A = this chain, B = another copy of it.
């Protein structure tokens, strides 16, 4: 297996993007990534998208998007694992370059979520849960994560303040990110008093519905060196799955798929969680960030909430989490999220994070954790400065 690098990145506009279509968003991110890498061609494309069928009535995405990039004929594949689709695209590109079959591969993700009304969006997202055993009975994602939150609070004494602190921290980070959908700061009180969605989760515990796309250029180290642009190495890639049905899990206060994915990535890279300087995690809800910080092995079960409350995961803390603002503030176009996480790690490792959110600690190794549904799948990547 060859060393695999990331050398160029691009984000479309993120938010409620009324004036750009599904295909426009992807083209925008893709062309920015190509320009920033300075590559003159691609060997193939992997695009992550959760549900083009339900959100915009469009499957056969990879060929369509390749055409709109002006690259008809390019080998192109769409990958899907619900909200972890973007991470899967990164992994597929990583494997193709590692194999030697291709030298320059684009990994991208896209979702256009606001072209349907709220009920339809909730239905589309719910297809990441078990249709026959969860959705049929009325479960939605806020409800599923609310159950996980209650269980975690009951078992470990996790508090309202710990949940709120995740939101406050991520909105603070996002306020320095020009690409964030909601770049405003929130206070502990604002989070706790915001509208209730599914007890104990308030609206400011929930990531938003977002239109957006993200793209990166994944390439061999020879190519990365020749381009003369900043690049990082992907030193670990891991994926894991679990039953997508919450009721079938042994323990809903942990995400086993994330543990499996992290352990696989650690094994490939020869690193441990102690070698990781900072991490982007899948904070679709505030409770998810707490559970993931434990599931990837950074904190013992029940210890992440107190650590977050103590400020350990802020920009100045010992283990910054979601310097980008996370899904909470940056936004969550589900298919694009996993790719955007990698973009944040790339920016931090190459000193390109905008404004005051660039870590002062000169980080050497960063990690991403992307998640599907209520934890039925997870993808972890570990990147190191070149």
Contact = CB atoms under 8 A, between A and B. Distances in A.
Interface string A39-57: 0000010000011111011
B1 A99 contact: yes
A333 interface: no
Nearest to A23: B132
A77 B60 contact: no
A75 B44 CA distance: 22
B51 A59 contact: yes
Nearest to A75: B239
What bracket does the count of chain A residues touching chain B fall in? 35 or more
Contacts of A1: 99-101
Contact of A242 (B53, B63, B127, B129): B63
Given A73-B256, A240-B73, A242-B73, A127 B59 contact: yes
Given A81-B60, A81-B78, A127-B57, A67 B243 contact: yes
Contacts of A96: 95, 99
A241 B66 contact: yes
B51 A53 contact: yes
Contact of A127 (B52, B67, B124, B256): B52
Interface in A336-385: 372-373, 376-377
A79 B82 contact: no
A267 to B, nearest CB: 12
A78 B79 contact: yes
Contacts of A67: 241-245, 248, 376
Contacts of A82: 59-60, 63
Interface in A205-245: 238-245
A147 interface: no
Contacts of A72: 241-243
A303 interface: no
A131 interface: yes
A257 B62 CA distance: 13
Given A80-B61, A101-B1, A73 B260 contact: yes
13 contacts: A1-B100, A44-B239, A50-B59, A58-B130, A58-B131, A59-B127, A62-B80, A63-B242, A63-B372, A72-B241, A75-B239, A96-B99, A99-B101
Given A21-B132, A60-B377, A72-B241, 7 more contacts: A51-B53, A57-B131, A60-B82, A74-B241, A95-B96, A95-B101, A99-B99
A-B pairs, 4 with minimum CB distance: A99-B99, A60-B82, A63-B376, A53-B53
